[in-house]
C-alpha cells in the first residue's frame, strides 16, 4: 500500500487527476488520483491515512516548490484539481465523521471585491492540507462572515482583497468581528495587502503565499 500512497502523492503534486487526463504527458494512460484513491479505499486503507500520507504530501510538495519559485499558479491549480478528484471519494467519510479535518477556515473576498483567483488557490491549498474550508465567495459582507462564525464558532477567518479601494472594507470587517469575537483569529491577503496594513487593522497576520499560510496554521495546532 505504501507504493500506491507514494504514487498518489506524485499524482497530486504533478496534477494527474485520473487515467483519462492527458496531463502530464509522461503519465498518459496511467492511473490518476481518482483511481488510486479508489484502490486504496477498496484495500481497506483509512481515509485519514490517504489524506495524510498522500494528498497532503503531494500538496505540500507543490506548495514548497511554489514558495521557492520552482512552480507557478497553473501548477498549483492542476495539483488542486487532482487533489479534488481524490477528495470526491473521501468526502463521504468526512461527512459521516469517519475521517477528521484539522479544523475549519472561513474564506471570503471582502465587500465590493469580485476577484477570487487568489482566494480559490488558498482554499485548494488548505483543503489539500486537511482543513475544512467554508468558501463564502466574493463581495462578502461583515454580516455574512459573522453568520458563518455563528455556525462555526471555532473557525479561523481568512479575508482577501485585490483592490486598494476595497481594503477599507476589510478593515471594517476585521474591526466588527473582533469586537464581537475577540478570540477569533483573522488572517488577510491579496496583492495590495501588507503586514503593516494587517497590524494597523488588528488582523492576526498577513500571508502573500498560500503555502506559508497553511504552514502557519499547522504550527498553531502543534
Half-sphere exposure at residue 74, Cβ-oriented, CA atoms within 13 angstroms: 2
Domains, in order of start, for the chain: 2-95 (1.10.1240.10), 104-221 (3.40.50.280)
pLDDT of residue 4: 96
Q: What is the pLDDT of residues 90-99, one digit of tens each?
A: 988 887 777 7
For 34, 66, 107, 128, the CA distances from 15, given in Å and listed in that order, are: 11, 14, 24, 13
Say how many C-beta atoms besides its own lie within 10 A of residue 180's C-beta: 11
pLDDT tens-digit series, residues 134-169: 999 999 999 999 999 999 999 999 999 999 999 999
Cell of 84: 479534488
List, for residues 1-22, the tens digit of each pLDDT value: 999 999 999 999 999 999 999 9
- In the Cβ-directed half-sphere of 112, how many Cα atoms lie within 13 Å? 13
Q: pLDDT (tens digit, 9 = 90+) per residue, 48-89?
A: 899 889 998 998 899 889 878 899 888 988 998 899 899 899
Reply yes or no on whether the pLDDT at 101 is more than 90: no
Strand, coil or helix: 32: coil
Percent of the chain with pLDDT over 90: 68
The answer for 103, left when phi > 0, alpha when psi is -120 to 50, beta otherwise, is left
Amino acid at each position: 500500500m505504501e507504493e500506491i500512497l507514494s504514487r498518489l502523492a506524485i499524482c497530486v503534486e504533478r496534477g494527474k487527476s485520473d487515467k483519462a487526463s492527458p496531463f502530464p504527458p509522461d503519465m498518459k494512460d496511467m492511473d490518476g488520483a481518482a483511481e488510486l484513491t479508489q484502490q486504496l479505499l477498496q484495500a481497506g486503507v483509512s481515509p485519514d491515512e490517504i489524506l495524510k500520507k498522500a494528498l497532503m504530501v503531494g500538496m505540500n510538495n507543490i506548495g514548497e516548490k511554489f514558495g521557492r519559485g520552482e512552480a507557478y499558479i497553473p501548477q498549483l491549480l492542476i495539483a488542486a484539481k487532482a487533489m479534488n478528484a481524490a477528495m470526491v471519494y473521501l468526502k463521504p467519510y468526512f461527512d459521516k465523521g469517519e475521517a477528521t479535518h484539522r479544523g475549519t477556515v472561513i474564506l471570503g473576498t471582502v465587500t465590493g471585491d469580485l476577484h477570487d483567483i487568489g482566494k480559490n488557490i488558498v482554499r485548494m491549498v488548505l483543503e489539500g492540507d486537511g482543513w475544512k474550508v467554508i468558501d463564502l465567495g466574493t463581495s462578502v459582507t461583515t454580516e455574512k462572515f459573522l453568520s458563518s462564525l455563528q455556525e462555526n464558532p471555532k473557525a479561523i477567518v481568512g479575508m482577501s482583497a485585490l483592490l486598494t479601494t476595497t481594503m477599507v472594507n476589510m478593515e471594517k470587517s476585521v474591526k466588527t468581528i473582533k469586537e464581537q469575537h475577540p478570540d477569533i483569529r483573522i488572517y488577510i491577503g491579496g496583492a495590495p495587502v501588507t503586514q503593516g496594513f494587517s497590524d494597523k487593522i488588528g488582523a492576526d497576520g498577513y500571508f502573500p503565499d498560500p503555502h506559508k499560510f497553511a504552514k502557519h496554521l499547522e504550527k498553531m495546532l502543534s
